Amino acid sequence: MKKVAVCFSGQPRFADIGCLFNRKYFETEETSVDYYLHTWDTQTVAEVVVKHDLEKLKRDLNDCYPFKRIEITGYNIIDEWLEENPDCCYWGDPEKQETEHEIGHAGNYQAYGMFFSAYNSFKLLEDNYDIVYRMRLDCAINYNAAAPIEDAISWAKNKEPDGMYTTDMTLKRGKTKIVDIVYFGSHSASKMLYEPILDIMKFCITDPKIKERHFHTHTGWSHIYKYSNVKLRTYKNPLPHKLIREPATKIPKEEMSWKAMAKVSQKWDGINAHWSNTRRDYDMPSTF
């Protein structure tokens, strides 16, 4: 029996849809799976801060996955870190950090939230695992098209101690861009990647040679992979997946399918997401 850890992080969006696909990929006769989650106690929707009912949120999340541990924190953990590291602050005025945008992902909370959440999600692990996944709750894996998870577990073992795989990476103008959707690797490689996140953030933002003032999704993860000394490795069976978008919530559960979910989500991307293109992800082996 292989031990699998799935570390979810970030906002608790669309977990009730993602679990319909993801659990069928992770939970097999050959795996013992532990689910972990770090998420936030508030969500910003159209510049309005919405406070979650924490007890209801926990109940709803546990209806989706049998979580071993859930940690819900406020964004004050970022504020506390910034008080200790004022040179890392995007905005001196705290009233601006939730609403103003430099490059789409800026502002202290928007830029740093995903890194803090990934860091805290990995810290929840209580055991050693054969493979560790880190992913978003609003991501769905196409379990019908994916290679069995046992294949990924074997890959992670062969790439120890420092091999990691990311599903979403592009090379543009000589720069590597990595998105936060799904990563996996051995426990040792995951430890190398996630434990030093905050130290790498501080180093890259304050180092006079780097001085990365836009430590957000793409630049941030590229720095973290580089300075953690984790090695990005190729995987012969790209993991087919899709970010779930709001229109998918209108599909009745009894009519939910991969193609139906991915089609309406991709249509939403084409209209609303500046980085989207016309790919039909539900027909493709991987996002990129």
Phi and psi angles of residue 232, each rounded to the nearest 5 degrees, phi first: -75, 125
The answer to whether residue 195 is domain-embedded is yes
Band (pLDDT 50/70/90 cuts) for residue 172 is low
Single pTM value for the model = 0.88
Question: Could you give the CA distance from residue 121 to residue 137 in angstroms, rounded to a whole number?
Answer: 12
pLDDT digits (tens, 9 = 90+) for 256-279: 999 999 999 988 877 665 444 333
The answer to whether residue 288 is domain-embedded is no
The answer to whether residue 183 is domain-embedded is yes
Are the C-beta atoms of 88 and 214 separated by less than 8 Å? no
The answer to whether residue 13 is domain-embedded is yes
The answer to whether residue 91 is domain-embedded is yes
pLDDT digits (tens, 9 = 90+) for 102-156: 433 345 676 789 999 999 999 999 999 999 999 999 999 999 999 999 999 999 9
Range of the structural domain that residue 169 is part of: 2-283
pLDDT digits (tens, 9 = 90+) for 201-220: 999 989 999 988 778 777 88
The answer to whether residue 187 is domain-embedded is yes
Tokens of 104: 């789409």
- Return the bridge partners of 63, or none: none
On the CB side of 111, how many CA atoms lie within 13 Å of its CA?
26
pLDDT digits (tens, 9 = 90+) for 23-77: 999 999 999 999 999 999 987 654 567 789 999 999 999 999 999 999 999 988 9
Tally of domains in the chain: 1
CATH code, domain with 117 = 3.90.550
Tokens of 14: 């669309």
